[in-house]
Each structure stands twice: as C-alpha cells, then as structure tokens.
Structure 1
Amino acid sequence: MARLAPTRVILMIICLLASVPWWAHGSHAVSWAKKTSLEPKKKTVTNLQFYFHDILSGQNPTAIRVAQAAGTDKSPTLFGVVMMADDPLTETPDPKSKLLGRAQGIYASAGQEELGLLMAMNFGFYDGKYNGSSISILGKNNAVHPVREMPIVGGTGIFRLARGYAVAKTYWFDAKTGDAIVGYNVTVIH
C-alpha cells in the first residue's frame, strides 16, 4: 500500500472538514431546528365553494395568452396555447359579489383531440380565517365536460400540506370571447 505524504493527508482532512456544513460542527448542530412531535396530527377536512372568473376580453382581462405553438391558431382545441391568469374568486357567480381570493397561475391547452387544459394554479384566499392561506391545483381540466375533477397537491397557511380535490362546473361561458365563470366545490384535507 502506498504511503501518503503528510501534506497530502492534512490537505485531505481539510477538504473533508470543508465539505461538512458549518452548522454540523460542535454543539450548535441542531440548536436552530424546531423539535416536532412524531405523533400524527389529526386531519381536518374543509369544504370550500366559490366562483372563478376567467376574463379574456375587454380592457382589463384576468387571463392573457403568453405563448403558443406555430399551429395553435389552426387547432380546434388551441393546442399549445399557454395562458397566465390572475382570476378573482368570489362568493357567488356575480362578479361584484364578495371577493374571497384570487386564482393565480398558468393553464395550457394540452389536448389535440379534445380541449384538455393542464392547470397549475394557486388559489390564494383573502377572507376570514383563510386569509393568507392557499391551495395548489395541478392537473388536467377537461374544460368541455360539464363537471371535472382536479387534484389539490398542496397548500400554505391553514392548508399547509393539503391534499384533496376540486370539482369544477362551468356556470357561464361566452364562446365568442372565451370569458367564463366556473363554480368550484373543493374538499381539502389538511
């Protein structure tokens, strides 16, 4: 076995120590870490109902086209279009009803045969005990179906580590402008 020169051994030790994070040295290794119980937290089930207003027309649209494929305009499903949204969430279908929050994120036409939107949306709430909390939806929205279901994949605030599902039903749609009001019934486990 070859013998290492003392300077190489010292250099190897220095490199090894340098690769260990600073916070792992000494008695301060976990002093900043919060101790948590390993006991499972009791799960809460929350049901939410609200209306999503996706407005593409007029002077103040809430959703805008940010990208598209070369053939998107020739596609019956607008395959390849990507939309950015900042849509109000209200208590009733009336756009002037109480604002509960906003749906912010993207949706894109991912279906060539049928309009299927890939949705990556954060529904942030402003009202009452949910103020500052949000849920995240990531999934397919078969927009032409009367009722569709999408997964809740996370959340923040009261909804931290949320899971569940959202059932969407189109309340109103204008084929000429693309404007829509969609009712949401959401079950969140958190």
Structure 2
Amino acid sequence: MGLRELKAARTRAQIVDTALDLFLDQGYDETTMEQIAAKAEVGTTTLYRYFPSKDLLILARIEQTMDLGGSLRERPSQEPLDVALGSAIRECLQGVGYEEERDTALRRMIDNSPVPRARLWDLGARYLDDLKKAIGERIHRPADDLQVLMTAHLAYAVLQVVDEAWRDADGDRDARARVIDDLLHRLSTLDLVLPAPPTGTDAAGRARPAPEVGG
C-alpha cells in the first residue's frame, strides 16, 4: 500500500470511529454529518467524498466483512474454488475488530433505524451479485448458472456462520484465525443435505405416471 492509500485508509478509519462514537453517545438520527466532520477534524467535502451518506458510516464496519467477491478475485487463479473461497472468507473477517458491548449496541441501532436497515439489505444484495460474477468468472460460467448461484449463496451462509463463531469466542484477535480455520475444516467434513425433488416427479418437476397394474 502506497503512502497516499495508507493516508486515505487512516482518514477513513478516523471518520468511522468518530461517527460510531457520536452515534452511540447521542443517537443515529440526532447526529449530523457536520458534527461528524467537525469531531473527526476533516472538512465536510472530505467526509462526503469518503461517505456520501450517513447510513454508510454506521454500516462501514459490517460492510468490511461483505466484499467476498473482491477477496475472491485477489486469490491465485490456479487455486481450487473451495480453497479460494475459504481464504476469501478468512480475509474478509481478519481485519475487523470486535467489541461485544459496542457492536451489539450499534447493531441494535441499525435494526431500529429504517434507512440503515434498508441500506444493509441493499448492500447484501449487491455484494452477493458481485460474488456470483466473481465465481462465474473463475469457473467460466454465467452468473445465473445454478452451480454459481448455489455456490455464492452457500459461501455467504458459511461467512455468516464463521463470523458468528469467532464473535462467540469473544472476538479474540489472536484466536480469530484459529477459530475461522477450525470451523472451515469442520464444515468441509459435513455431509450436507440439500433439498431433493418430491417422490414421484421427473427431472422437469412433472408428476410421473403411476405404473400400470395387471395386464
């Protein structure tokens, strides 16, 4: 990372930390972008360049864990897809800190605020679509291919399970990699059950005719 990128990352982190502190101290709706800029000691133009809207600030830490498609694209092209996805999940969670009381309060605030809650759903859909594209690019299939769709949805489900597992372990930074890798190993050994077609239907979902009885 170059000096300019490092400075931008520090400014971004400073803005997010300041905004989250203000949200917790005085409430999401009561906090203005002007207050955040002043407290973070940046100009309002700079603030809006990093975060065009306030809802993106309260979701910034959660969004860090969502870019699974971007992390997958950074994996070596010759790496098997399952290994690449596991490494991408690890990468998404590695840089995120965790403070149980603070993060719980912020999540409650998001759930009770219509605009951030709706934006979170939008972000989830956008990052899932991007993951489908990234998987499709990797295995040379269209993003709407059934294998691509199911792989993307399952990968996000695994990301959520792994995220919850290390948070249940108190979000210990030192133990994070171990917790993540342990759960990924355990998941790889599961005999997962997928829904099967109802008995008596063919591959197109049509009811099979009952066999003739007698002669």
TM-score bracket for the superposition, by shorter chain length: under 0.3
More helix by share: 2
TM-score normalised by structure 2 residue count: 0.17
More strand by share: 1
- Larger gyration radius, structure 1 or structure 2: 1
